[in-house]
Amino acid sequence: MAKKKFVVASFDDEKVLFPAVKKVRLSGYKIHDVYTPYPVHGLDHALGLRETSLHTAGFIYGISGTTIALGGMGWVFTTDWPLNIGGKPHFPLPAFIPITFETTVLLSAVGMVLTFCYLCQLAPFVKKHHFSLRATDDLFVMVIECTSKTNVDDLQSFLSNAGAVDVNVQEAEAGWWLGTYDKDQVLLKEQPAV
Amino acid sequence: MKPGNKAKAKIRKGMSLLRYESQLREPLVDGNKTYHDVTEDICRPIEAKPGKLWYVGFFISVALLLFGIYSVYREVVYGIGQWNVNHSVGWGWDITNFVWWVGIGHAGTLISAILLLFRQTWRNGVNRAAEAMTIFAVMCAGQFPIWHMGRVWNAYFVFPYPNTRGPLWPNFASPLMWDVFAISTYFTVSLLFWYSGLIPDFATIRDRAKTKFRKLTYGIAAFGWTGSTKHWQRQESLSLVLAGLATPLVLSVHTIVSFDFATSVIPGWHTTIFPPYFVAGAIFSGFAMVQTLLLITRKVLGLESYITIGHIEAMNKVIVLTGSIVGCAYLTELFMAFYSQNQYENYAFFYSRANFFSPYGWAYWSMMFCNVVSPQIFWFRKMRRNLWVTMFLSIVVNVGMWFERFVIIVTSLFRDYLPSSWGYYYSPTIWEIGFYVGTFGLFFTCYFLFSKYFPVIAVAEIKQILKVSGESYKEQMDKLEEEPVDEFASAAAH
């Protein structure tokens, strides 16, 4: 992957961050990402990110678990090796509920966590470029991608005016594939006041 | 429907009201803390050398663990005869300890999952340690049924896989089989839940690491976490759904453990009240264990600003509630035994248990005192906020809950339907006790390592509530109270 140029602005308060995000987007800059030390509620909407569908994946894993457990136990007890246990039915549904439930939960949880790790590209030994080491401590780090048209100096002073405590330019490889999830990011346009 | 831009702008205007929390509520983070202070306070114990007490505690735990390993070694080599379990008391100490440990695990999931769904922000200070306790307790619990199998080298027979023995499938309609699924699922889901929350905190330690080794190890553990907004969005969604899954899961696990008893035809076990009664008892004993651990942890690691007296009090409230539910269940059992007029039920409850002169009457009355009478002291606010009383009672409660399982198992089994098998007073051998002591060793060895190498409080989650529930930010709530509410209400209404 080619190296790209980024302008990195750090904010120390989410109260400053929100208006800054709006200003930057209104001015037509493309925000690569904002790195925060904790989940800042509403920031995903402010950045124009869509809702995650992780829970839908969880549901699909869950019903797969239900099907596998019920189908598997039913097949074993009725087809593969039917046993007469005290004259009880071969498909005792109430007695199958505990295992069916546990398998549903197990598959859903394991599947969701693996999907989460895959989508976020999280795994041991994965190395990514960290724009600021304090992004996991106390700073909210906004990273803006520069194109050939970007005037870097203007952008830097613009960000300082927006309340950033520190602005610098970094060349980095945003080389993991989801780094470009905001490819089709829609620019925010101010609505005319009514 | 997504709100239009106009509505969005309106919400943003009145958004400061979203940060409002009444000043009447106690702060959840004491002192004038910034985000950086939170990181410092919680990461400092990991980066410093542990004190003398840590080494003493750790080596005692390892010694206990080694004694436990030796006890189990004897049981494997010489057979189950090393224990005093006998023909009518087949379950004895072993299964008592299994149920006790599983029960202790339940508080962790209650705190991390159920309180998350109920939006109880005080959980953020205690959930990490409580979840760790869950995982270690389930690890200890799992030992008992495994080694109780006797021929432990055949333990893998319980897993359903196409095999060359027939194929010989396990009996999916058996409660013992349900246990295999319940305990293994519970352990896996708790571990995933715990670790997915730990990743961002490991990244915090990685990014402030001063030594190369620490940077490397925590870097591996942090999975390359950056704190990207999209990742946080997914992480929040993940933990919410995992909480939604873990909530019915935790209720199901102890329900299934109670089915081991309730689906049998043994007097004293064959009752429909068992599932709710066991679940309440599990949460009761689990919270007591959380108190024991956290009272020491907060003192030793100096985390009193994050695990405040308010946290302790909240947990004591849960203890008095669940203790009273358990007491209610004990009385209901007695009434149902009387009301059924079944002579076997009557014998189990009024001769073997609630009788000072029966061989195990002492155990029943100890249980009654520890579990029902003693926690009632927590109706008084002063007692709930007294650390010494809390510490003492948390231990009393766990002794009581151990007796509960002992009473249920032994008093129902030691006199069975065949009086010629009677006459044997079951008491454990040194190797049965050794096994139990060994699981304490395992539990505390893990906990000591956890408290040294892991952030015992969820750093990111504390930062999330800092500006709403932090002591120094509470003062600003006055200003928010003066903001007009109408605009906020109309904008926030869907």
Rounded to 5°, the CA angle B239-B126-B102 comes to 80
In chain B, how many domains are there?
Answer: 1
Residue B175, φ and ψ in degrees, nearest 5: -60, -30
> Does the distance separating the beta carbons of B206 and A136 come in below 8 Å?
yes
> Does the distance separating the beta carbons of A108 and B228 come in below 8 Å?
no
pLDDT of residue B87: 82
Res A2 pLDDT > 90: no
Choose among A40, A116, A191: nearest Cβ to B234.
Answer: A116
DSSP string, A25-87: HHTT--EEEEE-SS--TTHHHHTTPPPP-HHHHHHHHHHHHHHHHHHHHHHIIIIIS---STT
> Does the distance separating the beta carbons of B223 and A117 come in below 8 Å?
yes
- Selected for mutation to probe chain A from B29, B188, B234, B479 (highest A CB count within 10 Å) is B234
Residue B102, φ and ψ in degrees, nearest 5: -60, -40
Q: B166 CB near a chain A CB, below 8 Å?
A: yes
pLDDT of residue B431: 94
Name the nearest CA neighbour of B318 among B346, B293, B351, B285. Answer: B285
Res A50 pLDDT > 70: yes
- Res. B493 pLDDT band, cuts 50 70 90: low
**pLDDT tens sequence across A51-91:** 888 999 999 999 999 999 999 999 999 998 888 888 889 89
Q: How far apart are CA B322 and CA B160, in angstroms?
A: 37
pLDDT of residue B490: 63
Contact A31, A182 (CB under 8 A): yes
pLDDT of residue A68: 95
Name the nearest CA neighbour of B201 among B223, B184, B170. Answer: B223
Read off the pLDDT of each residue in B396-406 and give the average, rounded to a whole number: 94
Res A7 pLDDT > 70: yes
Res B18 pLDDT > 80: no
Second-level CATH architecture of A4-50+133-180: 2-Layer Sandwich (3.30)
Which residues of chain B neighbour A91 with C-beta distances below 8 Å?
Answer: none
Domain residue spans in chain A? Answer: 4-50+133-180, 54-119
Among A97-111, B19-33, B325-339, B380-394, whose mean pLDDT is lowest?
B19-33
Q: Which residue of B has its CA nearest to A12?
A: B35
Domain of B78 in residue numbering reads as 27-152+168-474
Q: What is the CATH number of the domain that holds B330?
A: 1.20.1630.10
- Res. B22 pLDDT band, cuts 50 70 90: confident
3-state secondary structure at position A140: strand
Per the structure block, which two tokens stand in for B4? 């239009």
Is residue B361 domain-resident?
A: yes
Res B65 pLDDT > 80: yes
Q: A92 CB near a chain B CB, below 8 Å?
A: yes
Is residue B221 domain-resident?
A: yes
Q: A135 CB near a chain B CB, below 8 Å?
A: yes
Choose among B220, B241, B246: nearest Cβ to A55.
Answer: B241
Q: A96 CB near a chain B CB, below 8 Å?
A: yes
State the pTM of this model: 0.90
pLDDT of residue B1: 40
Among A112-116, B149-153, B400-404, whose mean pLDDT is lowest?
B149-153
> Does the distance separating the beta carbons of B200 and A134 come in below 8 Å?
no
- Selected for mutation to probe chain A from B230, B237, B257, B265 (highest A CB count within 10 Å) is B230
Read off the pLDDT of each residue in B425-444 and give the average, rounded to a whole number: 93
B111: left (phi over 0), alpha (psi -120 to 50) or beta: alpha
pLDDT of residue B2: 47
Q: B90 CB near a chain A CB, below 8 Å?
A: no
Beta carbons within 10 angstroms of residue B418's beta carbon: 9
Q: How far apart are CA B59 and CA B62, in angstroms?
A: 5
Helix or strand (DSSP H, E) at A92: none
pLDDT of residue A125: 83
Is residue B6 domain-resident?
A: no
- Res. B257 pLDDT band, cuts 50 70 90: very high
Mean residue pLDDT of chain B comes to 88
- Res. A192 pLDDT band, cuts 50 70 90: low
A147 min Cα distance to partner chain B (Å): 21
pLDDT of residue A173: 72
Res B4 pLDDT > 60: no
Give A114 or A193, the one with higher predicted confidence.
A114
Is residue B15 domain-resident?
A: no
